[in-house]
Amino acid sequence: MSAWIDIAALEDVPKRGARLVKTEMGCVAIFRTVEDEVFALDNACPHKNGPLSEGIVHGKAVTCPLHNWVISLETGTVQGMDEGQVAAYPARVAEGRILLDATLLSERAVA
Amino acid sequence: MTQKLIVIGAGMATGRVLEHLTDANVDIEITLINAEPRGNYNRIMLSPVLSGDKTYTEIVTHDDAWYAERNVTCRFGQKITAIDRTAKTVTTDAGDTLDYDKLLFGTGSNPFMIPLPGHDLEGVIAYRDLDDTNRMMDMTGGNKVVVIGGGLLGLEAAAGMAARGVDVSVVHIMGHLMERQLDEAAGYLLRKALVKKGITVHCQANSKEILGEDGHVKALLLDDGTELPCDLLVMAVGIRPNVKLAQDAGIAVGKGIHVDDQMLTSDADVLAVGECVEHNGAIFGLVAPLYDQAKVAAATLMNEPATFVQKELSTKLKVTGCDLFSAGDFADGEGREDIVFRDPARGVYRRLVLENNVVIGAVMYGDTADSNWFFGMIREKTDISDMRETLIFGPAYQGGSTADPLSAVAALPRDAEICGCNGICKGQIEDAITAGATDLEAVRAVTKASGSCGTCTGLVEQVLAVTLGDEFVIPAAASICGCTDMTHEDVRRMIKSQELKTMPAVWQECGWKTSCGCHVCRPALNFYLLADWPLEYRDDPQSRFINERKHANIQKDGTFSVVPRMWGGITTPDELRAIADAADKYMVPTVKVTGGQRIDLLGVKGEDLPAIWSDLNKAGMVSGHAYSKGLRTVKTCVGTDHCRFGTQDSTGLGIKLEKTLWGSWTPHKLKLAVSGCPRNCAEATCKDIGIICVDSGYQISIGGAAGMDLRETKLLTQAPTEDEAMEVIKAVTQLYRENAKYLDRIYKWMAKVGLDWITEQVEDLENRAALAARFELSQSVYRKDPWAEHVTEKAQTYQPLADLTLEAAE
């Protein structure tokens, strides 16, 4: 069962940008695309733990600021020639608010 | 027994119900009550009435004769004041109480009025009915009108009045027009078309207050201080279902009046249709579902089975003569792919969104001829894997055996225009090829095709490939990135010549293949646009690399380094104390002296940045831009102040230069140095721009580097006075900003254009002054401290959005 928790207003994250949410087990990056969809990924690139929230968002992908790895916002899979995976969490927008699935975040804390 | 039906509201949906009922000749006595003092007319045709293309009588759908012939009793200009559902009566404001067996709501919607201060002034109207339209039609050539809302209705109002010669401004809160129906690129094209019609468009504009005089609207004030004078202000920002009457009567309402699949409300004797209803959570604004509802409601009233089903909707519109189409879901997504086709010359844009080989969304602008075919594919979920190469060209190019992208070009008729600038058709290019022009240059020389703006180069090459077959290999030009086939130089030329001032403009006119670029092209375009249009273009932080977005250098552990500016390498005990205090307060692990004569605080946490900047600001220090593709430092030696060899005040000139150039963005980093004598203690001869002071003045040399490549500067010119040296340096910096490729240092740019050309440009005094003036113009926007700005305006964005550590622990 999912338990959606209200994180912030959509407007608090810039279009083609990201903000951080602190969790018990580390930071989760919340991304907003130009089409106003939101996605949540662990804030650590599978390559060298680069802070993905600081990357450039394009389409539904983010480019890590450290070494330009491109990561899918939807699946957390590394695109192109590089290989890797970063955890992705359910996130959605409802009535202008960003919601995160608390269940998955706590499962992650347990894991 | 004859049933009595009372219909509330003469709109497009109820009008259709009346037609169905009276066509079927059922035994029913109908009374139509309408608050507007007139009967049914085609509300969506109000725009042509406004623009003068049609008259009101032409858009009346049901006239007096029609109602008389069909025995519909009309009570126009009357409002219902109460409904008694137990007694089954309605009471009108004329004082009559009428019986009903069935009641049909068609109360439509109310325009939403933003409760801005001044919204109740005379001259502030909505765009909803004929009365509003008449108010707008009273406006003439001398009048100014502001329209708030860049959606369909607002734009139609704007275009209609513009067609009457009225000076119209549209104010839209979102980044592009009609953002619900169109993506950014199509929104750009629409804006361009409107601007051409003389309409002023303000996007991302927040209205603050409506200003009035003697109770009448005078102007709209935006929150950036802009004042738009107007004689009439039209608010077209949205509609809300009109549920008041139903709610007062105790009928279930949510966003709209709740109806089931038979259009029955919570009272089985009361039905509702049109914009006032809510069905399965959805409300309705387009006419097609309204007509479906009308059909179902009529059937229900006649005791016939019928079910209202919501359908996949497409929007095909003509806004002010521009054809638009959108359908399905056109958001970007994982596993979703875009196919984008742009024809800059014709102003055509098409974008298909695919998922699992099925078209799930489409946006078309300029040419919507194939929209039905694409919409069919969305509805039918057609598997397009066999035709994806040519899909975007539409049905005319399908069905061939080869799925070759060239087949689309091959299929073009001989009279299809390839080069819009020179009016060259495919046939002329084919003839030139047959006559022996077998490469691009030769075709260009013979026909001029692709010789002007160059955007059709790819097409010309494809014609070559189709005509010559394997003999011609399309050369792979070094394009900016996978989003485009154009080179940096081509794009810069297009930005200047076509006056492209926004990113969507560049994407469209240069035929970008992705919807919104990538991390390679966006920073480059952002620089080109701000360098070429400093006043018009607004810097886009989201298209900048993190260092320039957060005005600090990211380190490998995700922390940042902070380098305050030390003008010309000169500091004071107070500044040093402030730096020491900041280092202590924010527990900076490493403090290092840089090669650019200043101090680097390494290992500052991202969330501490605004606080440490604020502390440094208080001590009088500003950002050192140690992170930017822009001016870094001006390194100096001590010059005549202290040195026994110094010939000029090198420190003074260095400080002046740094204070003039700081904040400017350049294609790559820009480092300067000023040495007071040829002994060159400031190492000026390995800088991008180096100045060596001599007895007779200042030797200015450029193109040095001491990085991956090691280069010694080459002499550009010599200036006899400090003022002239300053002007030369501003001019050469501007020349570099205007012409170099993004991420080329001066030495790389110099290798391409030649030192002679650069010297020629800055030694021409008129040109030098013009370049320096353009530099100063740009600096009027950018010569400011980004730290101070972020501290006051953006500090919050450096903090986490939320802290869930407590919630997660529970």
Mean pLDDT of B646-652: 93
Percent of chain A at pLDDT > 90 equals 68
A12, A14, A51 member nearest B542 (Cβ): A14
Sheet holding B322-328, edge to edge: B314-319, B322-328, B358-365, B348-355, B336-343
Taking an 8 Å cut-off on Cβ atoms, the answer to whether B558 and A50 are in contact is yes
A5, A49, A57 member nearest B542 (Cβ): A57
A108: pLDDT strictly greater than 60: no
Domain parsing of chain B, residue ranges: 3-109+242-301, 124-237, 314-403, 417-540, 546-627, 633-786
| CATH number, span B3-109+242-301 | 3.50.50.60
| CATH number, span B546-627 | 3.90.480.10
Q: What average pLDDT is seen over chain B?
A: 88
Mean pLDDT of B178-186: 82
B633: pLDDT strictly greater than 60: yes
A11: pLDDT strictly greater than 60: yes
**Is A66 near chain B, with CB under 8 Å?**
yes
Q: Which tops the pLDDT comparison, B460 or A107?
A: B460
Question: For the whole model, what pTM was predicted?
Answer: 0.61
Mean pLDDT of B7-27: 90
Contact B524, B743 (CB under 8 A): yes
Taking an 8 Å cut-off on Cβ atoms, the answer to whether B516 and A48 are in contact is no
For the purposes of burial, counting CB atoms within 10 Å of the CB of B280, is it exposed (0-12), middle (13-18) or buried (19 or more)? Answer: exposed
* pLDDT for res B403: 39
* pLDDT for res B806: 63
The model's pLDDT over B190-206, given as tens digits with 9 standing for 90+, comes to: 898 889 889 999 998 88
- Range B417-540: architecture per CATH: Orthogonal Bundle (1.10)
* Nearest chain B Cα distance for residue A10, angstroms: 11
The model's pLDDT over B515-525, given as tens digits with 9 standing for 90+, comes to: 889 999 999 99
Percent of chain B at pLDDT > 70 equals 94
Distance CA B320, CA B177 (A): 13
Q: Where are the beta strands (DSSP E) in B9-96?
A: 28-34, 72-76, 80-84, 89-92
H-helix segments, B355-477: 371-380, 388-391, 405-411, 426-434, 440-447, 457-468
Distance CA B732, CA B702 (A): 9
A75: pLDDT strictly greater than 90: yes
> Amino acid identity, residue B801?
L
A111: pLDDT strictly greater than 60: no
Distance CA B571, CA B569 (A): 7
The model's pLDDT over B250-302, given as tens digits with 9 standing for 90+, comes to: 999 999 999 999 999 999 999 999 999 999 988 887 777 888 899 999 999 99
B323: pLDDT strictly greater than 90: no
B578: pLDDT strictly greater than 90: yes
H-helix segments, A13-83: none
Q: Which fold has domain B633-786?
A: Sulfite Reductase Hemoprotein; domain 1 (3.30.413)
Chain B residues in contact with A37 by the CB 8 A cut-off are: 331-333
A58, A98, A100 member nearest B518 (Cβ): A58
**Of B330, B801, B803, which to mutate for an interface test with A (greatest number of A Cβ within 10 Å)?**
B801
Reading the block at residue B399, the tokens are 């069905």
Confidence label for B453 from pLDDT (cuts 50, 70 and 90): very low
Mean pLDDT of A67-95: 90
Confidence label for B682 from pLDDT (cuts 50, 70 and 90): very high
B175, B554, B800 member nearest A54 (Cβ): B554
**Is A103 near chain B, with CB under 8 Å?**
no
**Is A35 near chain B, with CB under 8 Å?**
yes
> Amino acid identity, residue B438?
T
Nearest CA in chain B to A9: B801
Measured over the CA atoms of residue A13, residue A16, residue A22 and residue A23, the dihedral's sign is positive
- Range A4-105: architecture per CATH: 3-layer Sandwich (2.102)
Mean pLDDT of B385-404: 67
B184, B515, B802 member nearest A8 (Cβ): B802
Measured over the CA atoms of residue B127, residue B130, residue B135 and residue B140, the dihedral's sign is positive
Distance CA A93, CA A82 (A): 31
B681: pLDDT strictly greater than 60: yes
Q: Is B687 helix (H, G, I), strand (E, B) or coil?
A: coil
The model's pLDDT over B457-473, given as tens digits with 9 standing for 90+, comes to: 777 888 888 888 777 77
A109: pLDDT strictly greater than 60: no
Range name among A36-40, B458-462, B564-568 with the lowest pLDDT average: B458-462
Q: Does domain B314-403 have CATH number 3.30.1120.10?
A: no
- Range B124-237: architecture per CATH: 3-Layer(bba) Sandwich (3.50)
B613: pLDDT strictly greater than 70: yes
Residues 6 or more apart from B475 whose CB is under 8 A from it? B440, B461
* pLDDT for res B400: 44
H-helix segments, chain A: 102-110
**Is A14 near chain B, with CB under 8 Å?**
yes
* pLDDT for res B402: 37
Domains B417-540 and B546-627 share a fold: no
H-helix segments, B330-425: 371-380, 388-391, 405-411
